[in-house]
Structure 1
Amino acid sequence: MAEHGRTGPDAADFPARRAPKARDLRELDRDVARCRACPRLVAWREEAGRVKRKAFLDWDYWAKPVPGLGPPDAGLAIVGLAPAAHGGNRTGRMFTGDRSGDVLFAALHAVGLASQPTSVTRDDGLELYGVRIAAPVHCAPPANKPTPEERSTCRPWLARELELLRPTLRAVVVLGAFGWQALLPVLAEAGWQVGRPRPGFGHGAHVELAGPAGEPALHLLGCYHVSQHNVFTGRLTPAMLREVLAHGAELAGIDHTGP
């Protein structure tokens, strides 16, 4: 039974109830954007939309959960962390409107996986080629740190997203240790053979996970997150990011030269 008798989008079990019912990614994305299951995240994302940064005072913030981005037949998935309070939470699109996104989309464009090198608004014409961007947490969290409970509550959305992508999905690039740790249980529950001990995260890590009988293997690639800290300190360079993305595209069988 839902917490305190609640059954709508503000119920704690809303993701677990709704995600499995999504017939396609369009329906899943619509349900994600309705979710209010985590009170702390709801309060934070909406507060960020009211108390805006000076540079964005004229913006009408999205201030809702941010759905995934990319085609329904993607061969490659990119799994990050969560939207930024004044990036995706403002624009309503993953990695759009912040410096992390500037780095990611420039790299995707450079290796032929995006139609343009920048992502500024939801209607700026950006297209991804063979790539779907997903996240283990769909709401902007305080200090960019969702709690384990919030991650668990949000997990059904990611599980269903991967299930819907399953017919074409062949590789996943994971940005950062948080996304890696969040993704492995989802893959294991879906039938991919993750094994014990579970593979550790590292930049350049490459793990091939056997699928259920008769299904292709899934290639899992680690990459440092495109955070400002990692980029400014040189821990992750544009060349390093391009290399991992190109490798992922090749493993997924994507002709990454555009549409």
Structure 2
Amino acid sequence: MSPPRGAAPREAGGAVGPDDVTYPLQARPAGSVAALDEVLVACRACPRLVAWREQVATVKRASFRDEVYWARPVPGFGDERATVLVVGLAPAAHGANRTGRMFTGDRSGDFLFAAMHRTGFANQPTSVRADDGLVLTGIRVTSPVHCAPPANKPTPLERHTCAPYLGRELELVGPRVAVVLGAFGWQALLATLDDQGWVVPRPRPRFGHGAEVRITHPDGRGLTLLGCFHVSQQNTFTGRLTPEMLDAVLLRARELGG
């Protein structure tokens, strides 16, 4: 995927300049998901994230030492007219930051896409690499932060800087339901909806597994948020999130999405 027109190609390890901090604002006029992706993958707005994603691609995990890492921002993946949008946290350092596709190449993705296959959203239960034939129907996955962060913890400033990408993706895809994986994504999505003029309750609804909140827009649009524990190993290996629990959320999303 090449940088957008008007943007100079950036080499890995290149310096982050003063113009980079406003780069995400170029997402706003993007007229299609493909155009949005072209802008997103060239972004170098967050110096800490740029340094980390590129460092990870150089100092690789031993099991991936022969692979070439993507090491750029990771765009959303799936149906561009999805009724259901899954909102995570950020790409995993040796998962999506390696493969270039959301939730692909790590245990979290294994858990998520297996559930999507069981509930009829995915044509196969595995997501190993970007060219493995996986197709999503009626559903799309994205995140509030599109670069892998150190310790899997983006800062509030990084989340705010990246917000235009999530906002424009919401406008272009137009989902009816958002399955939000974890409190970070929940807070980020509510903040983005607030910025876009949606009627977000005050105080803001709290995240919880199984939480269901209906948000409306003055123009008549509606979006239902469904809370779900994140598909991280911390939750799936301990049984805090089971396959049955995730399936129930996805089936509820399918029901609401129509």
Q: TM-score, normalised by structure 1?
A: 0.92
Alpha-carbon shift at residue 197 of structure 1 (Å)? 0.4
Alpha-carbon shift at residue 5 of structure 1 (Å)? 7.3
Which of 221, 232, 253 matches 2:237? 232
Which letter maps to 2:24? P
Which of 76, 92, 113 matches 2:84? 76
Which of 138, 162, 179 matches 2:185? 179
In structure 1, distance between residues paired with 2:133 and 2:158: 32
Task: Give matches, 1:198-237, under 5 Å.
Answer: 198-215=204-221, 217-237=222-242
The CA deviation string for residues 133-186 of structure 1, in whole angstroms up to 9 with x for no partner, is 1100000000000111111100000001001112xx110000000000111011
1:96 counterpart residue number: 104
2:23 counterpart residue number: 14
Alpha-carbon shift at residue 6 of structure 1 (Å)? 3.6
Residue 109 in 1 paired to residue 117 in 2? yes
Instruction: Flag as ranges the 4+ runs of structure 1 deviating above 6 A.
Output: none
In structure 2, distance between residues paired with 1:146 and 1:185: 15
In structure 1, distance between residues paired with 2:24 and 2:220: 30
In structure 1, distance between residues paired with 2:220 and 2:185: 27
Alpha-carbon shift at residue 209 of structure 1 (Å)? 1.1
Alpha-carbon shift at residue 188 of structure 1 (Å)? 1.7
The CA deviation string for residues 102-153 of structure 1, in whole angstroms up to 9 with x for no partner, is 0000000000000100000100000001111110000000000011111110
What is the SS of the residue equivalent to 1:208? strand
Which letter maps to 2:254? A
Which letter maps to 1:92? G
Alpha-carbon shift at residue 214 of structure 1 (Å)? 3.0
1:85 counterpart residue number: 93
Alpha-carbon shift at residue 37 of structure 1 (Å)? 0.6
Which letter maps to 2:243? P
Alpha-carbon shift at residue 250 of structure 1 (Å)? 1.1
- Which runs of 5 or more residues in structure 2 are unaligned? 1-15
**Percent identity over paired residues:** 62
In structure 1, distance between residues paired with 2:46 and 2:197: 28
2:8 counterpart residue number: none
Which of 138, 158, 161 matches 1:150? 158
Root mean square deviation of aligned Cα: 1.1
Which letter maps to 1:246? L
In structure 2, distance between residues paired with 1:237 and 1:5: 44
What is the SS of the residue equivalent to 1:12? helix
Which letter maps to 1:43? A
What is the SS of the residue equivalent to 1:13? helix
In structure 1, distance between residues paired with 2:223 and 2:113: 24
In structure 2, distance between residues paired with 1:96 and 1:214: 35
In structure 2, distance between residues paired with 1:190 and 1:127: 30
